A and B are shown apart, each in its own frame.
Chain A
Amino acid sequence: MTNRLRLKPLGIGWLALPGAGYLVLVFALPLLALLASSLFDAEGAFSLAGYGNFLGDSYNAKVVWNTLKIATSVTLICLLIGYPAAFAMARAPVAVQGLMFLALILPLSVGVVVKSFAWTILLRSNGPVNALLLQLGLIDEPLKLLFNERGLIIAAVHVFLPFMVLPIFTVARQIDSRFMDAAATLGGGPLYRFRHVVWPLSLPGVVTGCAFVFSMAVSMYVIPALIVGDRYQTLPALLARAYLFMRDRQAGSTMAVMLLIIAVSIVLLSSWLGRRIEARQQRAQEAA
């Protein structure tokens, strides 16, 4: 009786069809169509001219360069702040951890538009940030923080920092403090312990965090639109303009595909790195 009515394991697989089919139709195939439309010219012949024309234009090449540069700076600053913060959090008492979760997740649950708007208030020349710096005597006259790269980086770091801290926190929590004690008894100084114990063990979290932050920073649109406006063009801004205002499909799809290639290569690179780190840790464990 029970045997006949048991949910058959093989039969269950079909349940994924509606959802997976939906994403194929509405997500995967449209992306492939976009890729195709960037590879064929107006007469329908295969050509890479779209890419040649796009990158040949020095203005466009500079925009791509700016986009990658900003995303790299944002990722590095997030790592520089997020790494020590994640470890401090992992070693903090439970109550402090709870407050830090709140401080990271509440901003995450508030929209990007609201947060970018908040930074336009904070960063004005007579805004709170400048007032604080003046009062502390760190600067003599207000810094220009809006409508330039500096402000963009500050706001982007704020929006993406939780995506760096949380994955690193997850691995930091698992690094047993006995490892550190063991390394210390073996005579390793703090720097030695960091390089040979802490850093290698935290690498999976670092890779995940950097992949998240970089891929989001490359494709951010709302933050630059509010903080810098048109003065500083990035690839997403150029892409949106090509479609929404210029109605230039060939150029638009070329840019979209370039953005897509960057995103896909980050995913592939991070999963490859993740596998390599895992394999190395396994080898180290077997050797031990």
Chain B
Amino acid sequence: MNSEKLWHFGSNLILLLVAIFMLAPLVVVVMVSFSSSPVFNLPAPEWSLRWYSALLHKDGLGAVLWLSVKVALVSTLAALVLGTLCAIAIAHGRFRGRDALLAFLVSPLMMPGLVIGVALLQVLREVGLRDVLGALIIGHIVITLPYITRTVHASLALFDMRLIEAARTLGLSPARAVLQVMVPSLAPAFLTSGLFAFLASMDNYPISIFLTDARNKTLPIEILRYLEESPDPTIAALSAGLILFAIIVLFLAERMVGMRRLAQF
């Protein structure tokens, strides 16, 4: 009995320490963002919203944020279409090498982002594409596509294709059968993989750094540059905003599919 108690105590202690370790950085950033001190001192001498108002009056931040959101939105939507098609082909096709194809489609997640960025930069230079927005979207689809393909494939593997045939015999056209039967049952997969693909694109640094220029920067690149030049809690306020955004995304995803399925590896 005693050793059982010890085991209980030990495992609870480990979980508590890991939870603190994982969450402390986020808590600290939020605390610093509400502090009146400009030098990251904790505990804060006084609470204030000055860094939030500084954030609102920062020049150029709107353009940076807008570029990041545009790239993330378009690359996620494109990946939703391409990835779903791939997932259907792999889950329900009868050709050889489906496992290999799936591995290939997911492989960009295991490759160094910097290397993907460098390789893409060389090719885009050869082709002569100078448009930053276009280049970023092309590059980001490489990392959003694997998220969609993987998740949609996993939930398609559980979908019974005979339901579509049943809907067809009941008189629905092929397109409507897919739209009314398959799409609703895949909705949670679309939503969660789409949200995570969106977050991955918003956060991407290593591919973007090679495809942006001095005038068109994405959010992570601008934050890193700002931190290297003049770190002040304005960035903490911005970070707190991004943390809030992540919490909202997780809340939505948890509502749709539950935390357990988000954590599936």
Contact = CB atoms under 8 A, between A and B. Distances in A.
Contacts of B169: 2
A7 B174 contact: yes
Given A30-B122, A263-B112, A118 B25 contact: yes
Interface stretch (A92-100, A193-201, A279-287): A92-100
A202 to B, nearest CB: 14
Interface string B85-102: 110111011110000010
B224 A225 contact: yes
Interface in B241-255: 242-243, 246-247, 249-250
A218 B110 CA distance: 11
A110 B247 CA distance: 9
A183 interface: no
Given A128-B28, A263-B112, A103 B23 contact: yes
Interface in A212-248: 215, 218-219, 221-222, 225-226, 236, 239-240, 243-244
A121 B115 contact: no
A176 to B, nearest CB: 17
Contacts of A7: 92, 161, 164, 174
Interface string B220-236: 10011001100100011
A219 B116 CA distance: 11
Contact of B28 (A88, A122, A252): A122
A139 interface: no
A146 B120 CA distance: 34
A111 interface: yes
Given A109-B249, A118-B28, A19 B83 contact: yes
Interface string B164-198: 11001100001000000000000000000000100
B77 interface: no
Contact of A84 (B14, B104, B122, B203): B14
A15 B15 contact: no
B114 A112 contact: no
B224 A22 contact: no
Contacts of A22: 82, 141, 145
A89 interface: yes
B11 A88 contact: yes
Interface in B99-123: 101, 104-105, 107-108, 110-116, 118-123
Contact of B118 (A126, A215, A252, A266): A252
B203 A117 contact: no
Interface string A149-181: 000000000100111011101100000000000
Interface of B: 10-12, 14-15, 18-19, 21-26, 28-29, 32, 40-42, 82-83, 85-86, 88-90, 92-95, 101, 104-105, 107-108, 110-116, 118-123, 138-139, 141-142, 145, 149, 161, 164-165, 168-169, 174, 196, 199, 202-203, 205-206, 209-210, 220, 223-224, 227-228, 231, 235-236, 239, 242-243, 246-247, 249-250, 259-260, 262-265
